[in-house]
Structure 1
Amino acid sequence: MKKDSKKLDKIGQLGPFFELDKRRQKAVILLFEDELTDEEIAKNVQRRRSTLDNWKNDDKFKAAQEQYKKLVVKKDFESKALRELVNLLNAKSEMVRLQTAITILKMSGMMSDNSTPELDKAKARKANAEADIARWRADELTGKNKSDDSTVLVDDIGDVEDE
């Protein structure tokens, strides 16, 4: 096991990788490192090649491989990728700057995948318009909207009783 792999084992994370026994964890790590053949990996974890093949077809083992990959990528590349994104905020292209800002906001959880700045602005405009209508209706009911030229709002979308 490489030094970095040992650090990951000690993080105390939860999930499929950490639920595996030590041999299977080592197999996941060696498969990820992609430096040995399956035969060599099986020998390294003191199992037969057929056992390793069975492990590789097991759903929990596959999930453990995915989790381990994400842990390693996050540990080794997340901060570098974020630094690169921050640098791209100064790019000459407006489109690159916009996409970079969106990516950073999504990474921070401040924007969802199905959200865009335009959509967020439209949602805010809609909410403000609905608030204005609600205020106007309240003022109308209390008599604050007194004028000779008044407009009556009709809510024809409301609940309709069965006839």
Structure 2
Amino acid sequence: MKKSEEKGPFFELTKRQRKAVVMLYEGTYTNKEIAETLHCSESLIYKWKRENKLFQQARKQYETMIIEDKYVSEAMQSIYALVKSAKSEMVRLQAAISILKLAGRLTDSSTPELDKAKVRKANAEADIARWRADELTGKNKENDSTVLVDDIGDAEDE
């Protein structure tokens, strides 16, 4: 890890606390074994785990760092292998979509067409709200030819 990347709660801990975080992440050590290795009391380990917010945040950061370093590239390689060799066209498509999402090129809720439609909908809803407000305050003229139309039928219309 580069020095410039050494930021966040994990790197604010003492060396002993960082060692405890690593040992806890490995999951093969008891609190007693960690305390013996670090030459401290077992109750101190419990206290760090329960009461020390920085220690708790550091554990989360360390877990994220490990996952990013070890598993993300393997997952990407597996997804890419599906794009290249899956027998099902749907599996290949889903794998390709996953890669685009992970690369930040595609989101679940946004495409240019969808964004334009959302803007049109918001503008139409604003116009309707304005017209209704004017109707309630009497600002609409009697000769106003604006007609609200519900062009989307619902179950009652059928």
TM-score bin, normalised by smaller chain: 0.5 to 0.7
Aligned to 2:73: 79
Which amino acid is 2:130 matched to? Answer: D
Aligned to 2:97: 102
Q: Could you say what secondary structure the match of 1:157 adopts?
A: helix
Aligned to 2:128: 157
Q: Cα distance, 1:9 vs. partner? A: 8.2
Residue 27 of structure 2 corresponds to residue 34 of structure 1? yes
Structure 2: gaps (5+ residues): 121-125, 139-158
Q: Deviations over 1:17-67 (max 9, x none)?
A: 111111111100011112222101011122110000011113322221111
Identity of aligned residues (%): 37
Aligned to 2:106: 111
Residue 37 of structure 2 corresponds to residue 54 of structure 1? no
Q: 1:12 to 1:120 in 2, by over 3 A?
A: closer
Q: Deviations over 1:43-102 (max 9, x none)?
A: 112211000001111332222111101111211122121111111113112222222122
- TM superposition outliers: structure 1 runs of 4+ over 6 Å: none
**Counterpart Cα distance in 2 of 1:77 and 1:71:** 10
Q: Cα distance, 1:122 vs. partner? A: 5.1
TM-score (normalizing by structure 1): 0.65
Which amino acid is 1:84 matched to? Answer: S
TM-score (normalizing by structure 2): 0.67
Q: Which moved more, 1:61-70 or 1:95-104?
A: 95-104
**Counterpart Cα distance in 2 of 1:92 and 1:38:** 48
Given candidates 121, 126, 132, the residue that maps to 2:117 is 126
Q: 1:14 to 1:156 in 2, by over 3 A?
A: closer
Q: 1:53 to 1:156 in 2, by over 3 A?
A: closer
**Counterpart Cα distance in 2 of 1:41 and 1:10:** 27
Q: For this pair of structures, how many residues does the alignment match? A: 127
Q: 1:10 to 1:156 in 2, by over 3 A?
A: closer
Q: Residue 16 of structure 1 contacts residue 63 of structure 1 at CA under 8 Å; is this kept in 2?
A: yes
Q: Cα distance, 1:157 vs. partner? A: 2.7
Q: Could you say what secondary structure the match of 2:87 adopts?
A: coil
**Structure with greater proportional helix content:** 2
Q: Residue 9 of structure 1 contacts residue 18 of structure 1 at CA under 8 Å; is this kept in 2?
A: no
Q: Residue 105 of structure 1 contacts residue 111 of structure 1 at CA under 8 Å; is this kept in 2?
A: yes
Structure 1: gaps (5+ residues): 1-7, 131-154
